[in-house]
A and B are shown apart, each in its own frame.
Chain A
C-alpha cells in the first residue's frame, strides 16, 4: 500500500551511454533562460541506462510496468492541452511486477528519425525528450530528459541574388541588391542600395532583421513579428547616383533556420526590412524574405549523418548489429 508516505517510492535517473563524449548545445527555455542540452542530429541512435533507485531500503516497489519513451512533439501555447506528437517510440523495460532493490535498465532507440529542429518561440514550442515511467495503480513515477535537435544543410545548389527596383512615383526610386537569397547562420549579408531619384529629405537608413513566427491554420492564423536586429547603414542625405554598401554579419544575432510549415503547425521565417527615415520621421520601407539555414560545424558530422541515412535505407540487419556493437 502506498499512501500517506508509508509506501515505497523511487527516483528515476536517465543517463546517456555517450554522455561523456556527446556535445551539448545551448537552448533558450520558455522563460528566456539559457540551458545546455545534449545535441542530436537526425538518424542518430539514442541509447543509455535508466537507473531506478528505491527510496526506502528493504521495502519492495510494486508497479504495473516500467517503460521509456522517445517523444518529439509540438506544443502551441494557446492550446496547451493538445500536444502534437510527430515522433513517438516506446521501449518496455520491465513487465508488471515488483522491484526488491534498486535496478538499472538499458535502452536503445536505433537510428531515430528527428525530422525537425528543436524550437522554443513566442507561441509555440517543438521539443524532443526521453521519458521513463514506472506505472502504478494510484500514481505513476516519471522522469523527463530534454534533448536538443539541430537540422543541418549543405550549401544550396541554387542561390541567386535578390535585386529589385522599388519606390514611390516621382518621389523616391531605389534599387536594392542582396548578394544571396539563402544565408547560413554565420554568413554575411553583402548588398547595396543605389539611389535613382531622391525628392524627399532622407535623414538616415537602416536595415532590420525581422523574425515572423506563424501559428495556427486557416482563419485562426497568428503572426508574431519580432525585430531581431536594427543596423544603421547610412547617416545623412543621399543624392541620385549614390551607392550605399551593406555588410551585415549574422553570427552576432539570435537566429534559427527558416522553418516552413512544420508538421502543418507553425512556420518561422525571416525578412530583411530596409527602412528609410526622412527629416519628419516618416518611414519608407521594403521587406524582403531571406532563407536561413544551419551549416554543419565540422565536415565529419555531415558525412556521419549521411552514413546513418544510407544505413537506414539499405537495410536493418547490418546496421543494428553495428549499432549494438557501438553501444557496448
Chain B
C-alpha cells in the first residue's frame, strides 16, 4: 500500500485579481457623522437638534450624500420602529437623562455642553452601528430617517 508521507499543502489555484478591484474604491463605503448640535427655542420649549450627514456608495441608499437635522426623539422613533419590524437586536441609545430635566438644578440640565457632547457621541455610535446592518438596510424607516427631509410618523412601515 503506497501512501504519501507528507501531505500536499500547496495553495489551491485562484483567479488573479482585477487591478481595478484591487486599487479602486471599496464597495462598502458608508460614513455617517452626527454633529453641530443646535438648541432651538426658549425657556421650557427648548430642544436640541443634530445634523446627521451621510456619505455612501452602497446601491441600497437612493442618495449617495445626504444631510438632515434630527432630535433625540427622532432617534427613539427609529429604534422603536426597528425593534418592532425587524428581527435584529437594536443597539442601545444614550440615556434619556430624565433627572437632568427636573427643575432646581445648579446647571443647564439637558442643555449642558458636556452632556450634549456625550449624547452626540452616543447617537453617532448608534446610527453607524445600525446603518451598516444588512437587515436594517431593508427597512423603510432607516432610509426615511437618514435621507428624507423630515420624518413622517404616519408612514407605512415596510421593506425597501
Contacts and interface: CB of A to CB of B under 8 A. Distances in A.
Interface string B1-45: 101000111111011011001101011101000000000000000
Nearest to A172: B134
Given A280-B132, A280-B133, A239 B10 contact: no
A177 B15 CA distance: 13
A254 B51 CA distance: 55
A243 B15 contact: yes
Interface residues of A, number: 34
Given A187-B7, A242-B17, A282-B133, A198 B26 contact: yes
B28 A190 contact: no
Interface in A227-275: 237, 239-243, 245, 247
B14 A194 contact: yes
B1 A241 contact: no
A221 interface: no
A191 B132 contact: no
Contacts of B24: 239
Contacts of A239: 21-22, 24, 26-27
A241 B17 contact: yes
A102 interface: no
Contacts of A241: 15, 17-18, 21-22
Contact of B14 (A168, A179, A192): A192
Given A240-B21, A247-B9, A199 B14 contact: no
B24 to A, nearest CB: 8
B17 to A, nearest CB: 4
Nearest to A280: B129
A242 B14 CA distance: 9
Contact of A245 (B12, B18, B26): B12
B60 interface: yes
Given A200-B28, A201-B28, A241-B18, A179 B59 contact: no
A99 interface: no
A4 B70 CA distance: 88
Interface in B48-78: 58-60
A276 B58 CA distance: 20
B64 to A, nearest CB: 14
Interface of A: 154-155, 168, 170-172, 177, 179, 187-188, 190-192, 194, 197-201, 237, 239-243, 245, 247, 278-280, 282, 299, 302-303
Given A239-B21, A243-B17, 18 more contacts: A170-B59, A171-B134, A190-B8, A190-B10, A192-B11, A192-B12, A197-B27, A198-B26, A199-B58, A200-B134, A237-B28, A239-B22, A239-B26, A241-B21, A242-B21, A243-B15, A245-B11, A299-B1
The 7 nearest A-B residue pairs measured at CB: A243-B14, A241-B17, A241-B21, A171-B134, A188-B7, A240-B21, A192-B12
18 contacts: A155-B3, A168-B134, A177-B12, A179-B12, A192-B14, A194-B14, A199-B27, A200-B28, A200-B132, A239-B21, A240-B27, A243-B14, A247-B11, A279-B132, A280-B128, A280-B129, A280-B132, A299-B3
